């Protein structure tokens, strides 16, 4: 069914980059490096995103290990405090914008057209641009490390007035943010247009796979908030170089205004990293429980509510700036509300497992760890939403523990789950299940050794973003650092598993997972799928 006739190709493939070639060789990609530079094929672009994300994950991870090495014991051992601050800032920017977001965009590129029965993304040439902006942005960001005064050191939130004290890096860092924003907005537009215009006939909105739904909602969040961030950092730029005083109190400006603008972006941003994870997990659990997803429509509504609520709770990051009492209480109540749709999602996942016939291949293991550990991050999130209690938690290691539970065993584990789940589809080869399981167990144990003690550190009074600490915090910091190194090095197993699967191995069947074709169109295609798929639209039941 996937082998289309030549006439059909001619109709559907006008957008293929090498359309001027002989009609007969557009079945496969062009040869050589130019294939990757000029490609407009959604699968190629998906691969580019995924590879970039993996490299960035390693770079950001290496920076995290610099941080954790310095924090292994009290006293300053390896790095100057200023360099330490540069590391925390770059680590965060790279993990957020370089690893997690591009990885999900990579999933979207690969899977959304295959899942909705579309031959490609709607705007393939823009898709090429959205990707190729990224490497330049990251090179520019990395180059700040070698500038006078070093890289940005004000934390990924880039709060003024501190960030304005920075030297040569500032315009570069801000331009990087602009590029990343452009890339994300273009990517988001592409996803929205693809999903709304390119669905196969019969694929109604309420039949969309949940992964597609979560990405559509994420794309709307991106389009709404990235311009706000771009605006805020542009105001920083004019404050620094053109004598404006948006955020400069001495000139009549307001440093807290920046925080409101930043978090209006920054809070939805954390959902941008987590909503697609919800989609991935909602795809994987039904497959390995051999049961349909429980409460599909409530999952869709819950995701949409979370998306909406994420816009009206930003100031819960600012409980200590001295907002009026009414504001403080409003943000408390609104934030607490997010627990309701999030709870619905967790209950639905548990109900999907309930009375299933579960097996525990690597993707399922990561998915289960996601549900357990993300929920823990959710609990600490609920605790932090209560403003009076947050007066203690704010800016301590409790926060660091919280957001790493939602970002590492949350977003990153969902990425691993998805990668193992679709790797056989992408490469045509089964990955090494033994190594996959080893990767899972090492990661899961060490991630807890790494982040769990940080709850204690925060409650005991250790502020975040400090390069050295009082001796009473030594034990838990030592533990946390050991966990970090085990976690970090375990990721090399993953890299090896991916390389091995690309290079060969047991052939994967089309369905790959028992009964998977009931759970998504992608499993009706061959493994690996041909370069062009769905040149004729599939039948949707």
Q: Which residues are catalytic?
A: 91, 120, 156, 183-184, 267, 269, 271, 282, 316-317, 342, 345, 464
Stretch that binds ligand HEM, among 83-91, 143-151, 329-337, 355-363 (CB under 6 A): 83-91
Closer residue to ligand HEM in complex, CB, 57/110: 57
Phi and psi at residue 120, to the nearest 5°: -165, -175
Using CB under 8 A as the binding rule, whether residue 438 contacts another protein is answered as no
Using CB under 6 A as the binding rule, whether residue 155 contacts ligand HEM is answered as yes
Using CB under 6 A as the binding rule, whether residue 66 contacts ligand HEM is answered as no
Name residues whose C-beta falls within 8 Å of residue 528's C-beta, 6 or more positions apart in sequence.
425, 426, 427, 428
What angle, 0 to 180 degrees and rounded to 10, lies between the N-to-C axes of helices 124-143 and 42-70?
A: 20
In the complex, the smallest distance separating the C-beta of residue 247 from another protein, rounded to whole angstroms, is: 9
Q: Which of 164, 321, 155 is nearest to 244 (CA)?
A: 164
Q: Which of 430, 416, 438, 427 is nearest to 363 (CA)?
A: 416
Closer residue to ligand HEM in complex, CB, 96/180: 96
Q: What CA–CA distance (Å, rounded) separates 166 from 237?
A: 11
Q: Which does 92 bind (CB under 5 to 8 A by kind): another protein, ligand HEM, none?
A: ligand HEM
Using CB under 6 A as the binding rule, whether residue 59 contacts ligand HEM is answered as no
Closer residue to ligand HEM in complex, CB, 235/407: 407
In the complex, the smallest distance separating the C-beta of residue 452 from another protein, rounded to whole angstroms, is: 7
Q: Which does 289 bind (CB under 5 to 8 A by kind): ligand HEM, another protein, none?
A: another protein
Q: Which does 511 bind (CB under 5 to 8 A by kind): ligand HEM, another protein, none?
A: none
* Tokens (6 digits) for 209: 């796979």
Q: Is 295 left (phi over 0), alpha (psi -120 to 50) or beta?
A: left
Q: Which does 327 bind (CB under 5 to 8 A by kind): ligand HEM, another protein, none?
A: none
Within 10 angstroms of residue 320's Cβ, the number of other Cβ atoms is 12
Using CB under 8 A as the binding rule, whether residue 365 contacts another protein is answered as no
CA atoms 455, 460, 472, 91: torsion sign: positive
Stretch that binds ligand HEM, among 60-68, 173-181, 305-313, 338-346 (CB under 6 A): 60-68
Q: Which of 9, 43, 68, 532 binds ligand HEM (CB under 6 A)?
A: 68
Closer residue to another protein in complex, CB, 39/380: 380
Stretch that binds ligand HEM, among 38-46, 88-96, 417-425, 428-436 (CB under 6 A): 88-96
Stretch that binds ligand HEM, among 86-94, 177-185, 366-374, 532-540 (CB under 6 A): 86-94
Name residues whose C-beta falls within 8 Å of residue 170's C-beta, 6 or more positions apart in sequence.
152, 163, 164, 236, 237, 240
Q: What CA–CA distance (Å, rounded) separates 282 from 321?
A: 38
Element of type H or E holding 337: helix 325-337
448: exposed, middle or buried (C-beta count within 10 Å: 0-12, 13-18, 19+)?
middle
Q: Which of 23, 47, 53, 51 is nearest to 35 (CA)?
A: 47
Using CB under 6 A as the binding rule, whether residue 464 contacts ligand HEM is answered as yes
* Tokens (6 digits) for 80: 């100057």
Binding string, residues 142-161; x marks residues near another protein by CB under 8 A: -----xxxx--xxx---x-x
Q: Which does 257 bind (CB under 5 to 8 A by kind): ligand HEM, another protein, none?
A: none
Q: What CA–CA distance (Å, rounded) separates 277 from 289?
A: 18
In the complex, the smallest distance separating the C-beta of residue 487 from another protein, rounded to whole angstroms, is: 16
In DSSP terms, 429 is beta-bridged to: 507
Where in 178-237 is the site for another protein (CB under 8 A)? Answer: none
Q: Which of 29, 61, 295, 307 binds ligand HEM (CB under 6 A)?
A: 61
Helical residues (DSSP H) of 242-309, grouped into ranges: 255-289, 296-309
Q: What CA–CA distance (Å, rounded) separates 371 from 173?
A: 35
Using CB under 8 A as the binding rule, whether residue 241 contacts another protein is answered as no
Using CB under 8 A as the binding rule, whether residue 69 contacts another protein is answered as no
Using CB under 8 A as the binding rule, whether residue 484 contacts another protein is answered as no
Q: Which of 16, 96, 191, 274 binds ligand HEM (CB under 6 A)?
A: 96
* Tokens (6 digits) for 443: 């990661």
What angle, 0 to 180 degrees and rounded to 10, lies between the N-to-C axes of helices 433-460 and 397-406?
A: 160
What's the Rg (C-alpha) of the chain?
Answer: 23
Q: Which of 183, 310, 396, 527 binds another protein (CB under 8 A)?
A: 396
Bond from prior residue into 488 cis (ω within 30 degrees of 0): no
Q: Which of 478, 486, 537, 540 binds another protein (CB under 8 A)?
A: 478
Using CB under 6 A as the binding rule, whether residue 91 contacts ligand HEM is answered as yes
Using CB under 8 A as the binding rule, whether residue 491 contacts another protein is answered as no
Using CB under 6 A as the binding rule, whether residue 191 contacts ligand HEM is answered as no
Closer residue to ligand HEM in complex, CB, 103/237: 103
* Tokens (6 digits) for 265: 């972006």
Using CB under 6 A as the binding rule, whether residue 274 contacts ligand HEM is answered as no
434: exposed, middle or buried (C-beta count within 10 Å: 0-12, 13-18, 19+)?
exposed
Phi and psi at residue 396, to the nearest 5°: -115, 180
Q: Which does 452 bind (CB under 5 to 8 A by kind): another protein, ligand HEM, none?
A: another protein
In the complex, the smallest distance separating the C-beta of residue 371 from another protein, rounded to whole angstroms, is: 7
Using CB under 8 A as the binding rule, whether residue 320 contacts another protein is answered as yes
149: exposed, middle or buried (C-beta count within 10 Å: 0-12, 13-18, 19+)?
middle
Q: In the complex, which residues of this chain contact ligand HEM (CB under 6 A)?
A: 61, 64, 67-68, 88-89, 91-92, 95-96, 100, 155-157, 273, 400, 404, 407-408, 411-412, 450, 464-465, 484, 487-488
């Amino acid at each position: 069914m996937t082998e289309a006739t030549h006439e059909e190709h001619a109709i559907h493939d006008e957008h293929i980059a090498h359309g001027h070639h002989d009609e007969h060789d557009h079945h496969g990609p062009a040869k050589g490096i130019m294939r990757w530079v000029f490609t407009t094929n959604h699968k190629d672009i998906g691969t580019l995103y995924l590879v970039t994300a993996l490299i960035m994950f390693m770079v950001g991870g290496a920076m995290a290990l610099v941080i954790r090495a310095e924090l292994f014991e009290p006293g300053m051992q390896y790095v100057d405090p200023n360099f330490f601050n540069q590391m925390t800032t770059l680590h965060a920017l790279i993990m957020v914008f370089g690893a997690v977001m591009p990885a999900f965009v990579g999933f979207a590129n690969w899977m959304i057209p295959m899942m909705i029965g579309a031959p490609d993304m709607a705007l393939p040439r823009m898709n090429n641009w959205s990707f190729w902006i990224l490497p330049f942005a990251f090179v520019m960001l990395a180059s700040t490390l070698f500038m006078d005064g070093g890289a940005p050191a004000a934390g990924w939130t880039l709060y003024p007035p501190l960030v304005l004290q920075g030297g040569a890096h500032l315009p570069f860092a801000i331009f990087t943010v602009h590029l990343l924003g452009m890339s994300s907005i273009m990517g988001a537009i592409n996803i929205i247009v693809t999903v709304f215009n390119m669905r196969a006939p019969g694929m109604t909105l309420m039949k969309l796979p949940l992964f597609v739904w979560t990405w559509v909602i994420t794309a709307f969040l991106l389009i709404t908030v990235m311009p706000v961030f771009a605006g805020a950092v542009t105001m920083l730029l004019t404050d620094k170089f053109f004598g404006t005083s948006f955020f400069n109190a001495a000139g009549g400006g307001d440093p807290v205004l920046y925080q409101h603008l930043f978090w209006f972006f920054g809070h939805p941003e954390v959902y941008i990293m987590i909503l697609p994870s919800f989609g991935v997990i909602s795809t994987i659990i039904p497959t390995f429980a051999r049961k349909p997803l429980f409460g599909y429509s409530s999952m869709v509504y819950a995701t949409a509510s979370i998306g909406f609520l994420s816009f009206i709770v930003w100031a819960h990051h600012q409980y200590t700036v001295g907002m009026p009492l009414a504001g403080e209480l409003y943000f408390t109540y609104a934030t607490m509300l997010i627990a309701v749709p999030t709870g619905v999602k967790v209950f639905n996942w548990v109900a999907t497992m309930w009375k299933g016939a579960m097996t525990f291949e690597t993707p399922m293991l990561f998915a289960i760890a996601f549900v357990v550990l993300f929920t823990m991050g959710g609990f600490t999130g609920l605790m932090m939403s209560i403003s009076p209690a947050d007066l203690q938690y704010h800016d301590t290691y409790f926060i660091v523990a919280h957001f790493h539970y939602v970002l590492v065993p949350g977003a990153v584990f969902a990425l691993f789950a998805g990668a193992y789940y679709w790797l056989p589809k992408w490469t045509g080869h089964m990955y090494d299940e033994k190594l996959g399981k080893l990767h899972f167990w090492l990661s899961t144990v060490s991630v807890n050794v790494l982040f769990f003690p940080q709850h204690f550190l925060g409650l005991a009074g250790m502020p975040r973003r400090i390069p050295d600490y009082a001796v009473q915090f030594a034990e838990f910091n030592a533990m946390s650092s050991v966990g970090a190194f085990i976690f970090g090095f375990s990721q090399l197993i993953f890299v090896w598993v991916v390389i091995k699967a690309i290079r060969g191995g047991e052939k994967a069947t089309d369905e790959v997972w028992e009964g998977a074709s009931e759970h998504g169109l992608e499993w009706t295609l061959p493994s690996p799928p041909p370069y062009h798929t769905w040149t004729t639209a599939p039948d949707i039941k």
